[in-house]
Amino acid sequence: MKYLSVRSQNLETSSNSFGVPVVLFIFNRLESTRQLISALEPVRPSNIYVVADGPRSESEEGICNATRELFENLPWPCKVHKNFSPTNLGLLRRLTSGIDWVFESEDKAIFLEDDCIPNSSFFYYTEQCLSRYENDYQIGMISGNNFNIFNLGMTESYTFSNLPRIWGWATWKTRWAKNQNSLEEWKVNPNSPSLLKERFPSLSQRNHWKEILSSKTAQENWDYQWVTRHFTEGWLSIVPKVNLVRNIGSGEHATHTKVEDAFMNYPTYELDFPLLHPRETDVNRLWNASELWSLRLLIWLGEFSQAIRLLRWLLSLGKSDA
């Protein structure tokens, strides 16, 4: 598979820049990519990897090229490594091949898709956790997301969860090396039902995940393979006390999220420093239980909001016919 791969642009970096490699996945979202770059500027990452998928048709070539060109002259000194696919690979192949490429050179990294806009504290939180838990193989990754509106049991700056969340995240080469780019291993693993039972005491949760992992959507996306790797390895995910990354990716340019739900544009808050670290590395069962009810509530609110929008649209049609 051939890619346009270019390294080491804007080589002079400053002493006050951020040292952990930051990986950006881009495609055809010009405006959201501009917002992402603006979010990076206060932190000034010194080492940036840009992974781009190719256009799906000739009509997308212009917007894809314009999005790539944003990285020709970033407003701070840094190294920019580019991995641009000339053809469209799709989310599964493009993201996994891009992560593989990054870990050919790096031992750890932070990952952001073009619709995930972090605040500044996200970077310093992930930097500290990457250092602190690098050799703790109970941890699979660090997430920037917290959608738990109740946040019960969250007394430190972050906690440990059963589920990885990937709208802004970080991990190590050693963890990613165990990932499988297919769900086949999970499907044939006789221990899969017991692994789900260990993770989810609730039968409804287990049935929910069985349904998801057998769906076509799960086969076509990279993140479900990463989730099942956490299940198989018994890894936990680190979750911040507040949400640090906002997803703005719904709409016409979105691959899957065409309609905004309750998780889209979820507000972010700055995390207080110095971080207060948990004394033990163990799943926070109270927080995980309260998150389940929080997610159910947010999903219901999202469905209610969509129903209201549909009703308003139907009413507007009635008025136009009058």
What is the distance between the alpha carbons of residues 199 and 215, in angstroms, rounded to a whole number? 20
Percent composition of the chain: helix, strand, coil (DSSP 3-state, to 5): 40, 15, 45
Rounded to whole angstroms, the Cα distance separating 299 from 297 reads 5
All residues at 6 or more sequence positions from 30 whose CB lies less than 8 Å from its CB, including other chains: 63, 66, 67, 70
Provide the b/e sequence for 18-27 (b: ≥16 CB within 10 Å): bebbbbbbbb
- What's residue 1's pLDDT? 47
Per the DSSP assignment, residues forming a β-bridge with 141 are: 237
pLDDT on residue 257: 47
Q: What is the pLDDT at residue 313? A: 65
Cβ neighbours for 102, distance < 8 A, ≥ 6 positions apart: 21, 23, 49, 51, 109
Helix spans in the chain (H) = 30-40, 61-69, 90-102, 120-132, 173-176, 184-188, 192-199, 203-213, 216-220, 223-233, 285-321
Under DSSP, the state recorded for 58 is G
CB 225 within 8 A of CB 219: no
Is 221 strand, coil or helix?
coil
Determine the Cα–Cα distance for residues 187 and 17; give it in Å rounded to an integer: 44
pLDDT at 304: 63
User: What digits encode the pLDDT tens for the residues 250-292?
Assistant: 555 444 444 456 788 999 999 999 999 999 999 999 998 898 8
What are the residues facing 158 on neighbouring strands? Answer: 240
State pLDDT tens for residues 280-291: 999 999 998 898
Does pTM surpass 0.85? yes
Structure tokens at 16: 């006050």
Residue 193: both structure tokens together = 């039902």
Residue pLDDT, tens place only, 57-85: 999 999 999 999 999 999 999 999 999 99
Q: How far is CA 129 from CA 16, 116, 136, 236, 306, in A?
A: 20, 20, 11, 13, 37
Give pairs for 273-277: CB < 8 Å, separation 24+: 273/121, 273/124, 275/125, 275/128, 275/156, 275/157, 275/158, 276/156, 276/157, 277/132, 277/156, 277/157, 277/158
**Contact, 244 vs 268, CB < 8 A?**
yes
pLDDT at res. 259:
45
Mean pLDDT in runs of 10 for the chain (322 residues)?
51 70 98 98 98 97 98 96 97 97 98 98 98 98 95 95 95 97 91 92 87 91 95 97 92 48 88 97 92 81 68 61 52
The tokens of 25 are what?
A: 């996945």
Q: What pLDDT is stored for residue 301 in this prediction?
A: 74
Question: What pLDDT was estimated at residue 312?
Answer: 66
